Homo-oligomer: A and B are copies of this chain.
Amino acid sequence: MAASASPSSVGDLDPNSTNLRPPSSSYDWRAVHGRTRKLGMKICGFLQKNNNLEVKNRVVDSYNEQQSSKTFLTRDNEQDPRFIRTETDFSNLYARDLLPAKNGEEVTVQFLLEVFDILTNYIRKTFDRSTKVLDFHHPHQLLEGLEGFNLELSEQPESLEQILVDCRDTLKYGVRTGHPRFFNQLSTGLDIIGLAGEWLTSTANTNMFTYEIAPVFVLMEQLTLKKMREIVGWPDGEGDGIFSPGGAISNMYSVMVARYKHYPEVKTKGMTAAPRLILFTSEHSHYSIQKASAALGFGTENLILLNTDDRGRVIPADLEAKVIEVKQKGYVPLFVNATAGSTVYGAFDPVHEIADICDKYNMWLHVDAAWGGGLLMSRKHRHKLSGIERANSVTWNPHKMMGVPLQCSAILVREKGLLQACNSMCAGYLFQPDKQYDVTYDTGDKAVQCGRHVDIFKFWLMWKAKGTVGFEKHVDHCLELSHYLYTKLKDLEGYEMVFKGEPQHTNVCFWYVPPSLRGMSDGVERCQRLHKVAPKIKAMMMESGTAMVSYQPQGDKVNFFRMVISNPAATRSDIDFLIEEIDRLGQGL
């Protein structure tokens, strides 16, 4: 095993002392760009010499020379005469010159090597704290076109050189979601193994509907889903499941399957064949439950929101009271969603107590663990989901807390066969019963989708590469960091916590109170002014590009910051940086 330290352990392993504060014009994007091009040229130059390329070459022009002189990361031996700085002239090459064109092989490899170079430079910079998280521009600025970056589509083809420029510019004006100071979303980070998995997936370019055209991926999905069900706690990992394009669709599946279990006639006769069906979810739950209630024909008024305690956890007594009320009206309580890791507070609903009520009233229990599911991988934290093994279905998004690249979401169902029965339409052109292999591996008819993207491979590969223990370290690391943040903030002047006590997940919710508001008594004016603080700081932060963190109001609470940590690249120094940065930007408000 190599000696380099694990990135999963907490602490400042790689704090990178170069900070971007204040955002300075001395940071030279073009210099970085120059370095990118040079490495690419060298790789290309090497290959050209050795593969007897017939594509045109040219000596690097003066623009590139100029760029090289600005390079600030130079470690290469610039003078080595063995690597002549020539490159393929992509300005005279077009998409039609790539494979499957005759003799297109070398141009294809050259072109992809250039792309590889652009991407690996982007990856390097993503983890480099001396680069910005983003280079913010307003929509109208990007639409008008910046320095030759023209988004408009054209009749005629552009050269491969322009395509490479377009690739660079697309990354340049985007947001580095893997940057250690990007805290804006539940999905952050850039896992290298996962990335390799995605590159392979897109190269394989196939579809999950049948074993016939995705034999390996279909089996990987089955094995991984079984492993996930074992971890949820279902005996022998029995049950069913499928990967879907995101947690919202996974949650939608849970409602569909619950309905099919209790009222299978709805599949053929529609919602009017069932009595009035009622769904329950926390007022803090994800809005996808609402979307499902609207889309599937229940209606949002038949989704009842449950009260929560001050930590955002469902109050079981409120659920039972509302179930009774609904039954008294003659409606049928069908489905309860318990959230394991709410979006804003990171709250875990008490699953056991909710499961007791579901048992009592014969309701389907779904656990939306899209965000919290990752904690199942941690011996230290999995108790927060205690009772999840009693669920009828579970949503779990490895693309959130487990750092798998987007998209990767699973819906798990305890009862085998339900997904298939609920969704199957037996299309003859795909699911022929007279194939030569065991067609129970053709899983496509379980899905509401027909074609289905291969989301499994990157996750499977990460699991192989990190092991179960690697995911545990990842989760523990992020939770320790949020503990560090919480501990630091709770007594710090100018910061107020949104709810009391240690957060359950990595969500840390707080107000920054600028000096001008610190002496003010609580009241309408303070609220109104405090409400504007987070958006202003966020806007300044985005414009300086130093970090990104989310904010929102919630119920009667005015705009507050929500920190979330899911990126293993983040360290204590990044947390310290963020706190100081908020203070720096907010001082004068």
| Contact partner, A163, options B198, B207, B464, Cβ 8 Å | B464
A389 shortest CB reach to chain B, Å: 20
A199 touching B199, Cβ below 8 Å = yes
A399 touching B451, Cβ below 8 Å = yes
Q: How far is the CA of A120 from the CA of B77 in the complex (A)?
A: 27
Q: How far is the CA of A205 from the CA of B175 in the complex (A)?
A: 9
Residues of B within 8 A of A470 (CB): 95-96, 157
B406 touching A207, Cβ below 8 Å = yes
Residues of B within 8 A of A109 (CB): 120, 124
Residues of B within 8 A of A453 (CB): 245-246, 406-407, 453
For the complex with contacts A142-B216, A154-B464, A170-B204, 17 further pairs of A-B residues with Cβ separation under 8 Å are A4-B104, A5-B101, A46-B46, A109-B124, A155-B469, A174-B204, A174-B215, A175-B212, A184-B213, A187-B205, A190-B203, A246-B450, A272-B276, A290-B425, A406-B453, A409-B451, A435-B535
A588 shortest CB reach to chain B, Å: 17
B268 touching A301, Cβ below 8 Å = yes
B550 touching A450, Cβ below 8 Å = no
**Nearest B-chain residue to A400, judged by Cβ:** B451
Q: What are the interface flags for A90-128 relative to B under an 8 Å C-beta threshold, 1 for contact and 0 otherwise?
A: 001111111111111101110111011011101110010
Decide yes or no whether A527 CB sits under 8 A from chain B: no
| Contact partner, A151, options B13, B156, B220, Cβ 8 Å | B220
Q: How far is the CA of A268 from the CA of B290 in the complex (A)?
A: 10
B215 touching A111, Cβ below 8 Å = no
A230 shortest CB reach to chain B, Å: 10
Interface hits, A434-465 → B, CB 8 Å: 434-438, 441, 447-454, 457, 460-465
A200 touching B167, Cβ below 8 Å = yes
Interface size on A, residues (CB 8 A): 199
Given contacts A173-B215, A174-B214, A451-B407, contact A139 B441 (CB under 8 A): yes
Quick check: which of A25-33, A248-256, A309-317 contacts chain B, the rest being far away? A248-256
Decide yes or no whether A379 CB sits under 8 A from chain B: no
Residues of B within 8 A of A216 (CB): 142, 151, 169-170, 173-174
Quick check: which of A64-72, A292-300, A355-363 contacts chain B, the rest being far away? A292-300
7 nearest A-B pairs in the assembled complex, by CB-CB distance: A297-B297, A270-B299, A198-B202, A100-B569, A436-B539, A245-B245, A271-B297
Residues of B within 8 A of A95 (CB): 192-193, 462, 465-466, 470
Decide yes or no whether A491 CB sits under 8 A from chain B: no
A82 shortest CB reach to chain B, Å: 5
B108 touching A246, Cβ below 8 Å = no
| Contact partner, A432, options B196, B447, B451, B551, Cβ 8 Å | B551
Copies of this chain, whole number: 2
Residues of B within 8 A of A120 (CB): 108-109, 112
B268 touching A299, Cβ below 8 Å = yes
| Contact partner, A291, options B102, B169, B425, Cβ 8 Å | B425
Decide yes or no whether A62 CB sits under 8 A from chain B: no
B542 touching A436, Cβ below 8 Å = yes
Q: How far is the CA of A6 from the CA of B407 in the complex (A)?
A: 35
A52 shortest CB reach to chain B, Å: 6
Residues of B within 8 A of A465 (CB): 94-95, 157-158, 160, 163
Given contacts A199-B115, A299-B267, A552-B429, contact A102 B451 (CB under 8 A): no
Q: Which of A80, A143, A211, A297 has the most chain B CB atoms inside 10 A of its CB?
A: A297
A selection of 14 A-B contacts at a CB cut-off of 8 Å is A1-B92, A13-B101, A108-B123, A109-B124, A118-B200, A123-B203, A167-B196, A174-B206, A177-B205, A207-B406, A271-B299, A272-B299, A295-B448, A432-B559
**Nearest B-chain residue to A405, judged by Cβ:** B205
| Contact partner, A215, options B42, B107, B137, Cβ 8 Å | B137
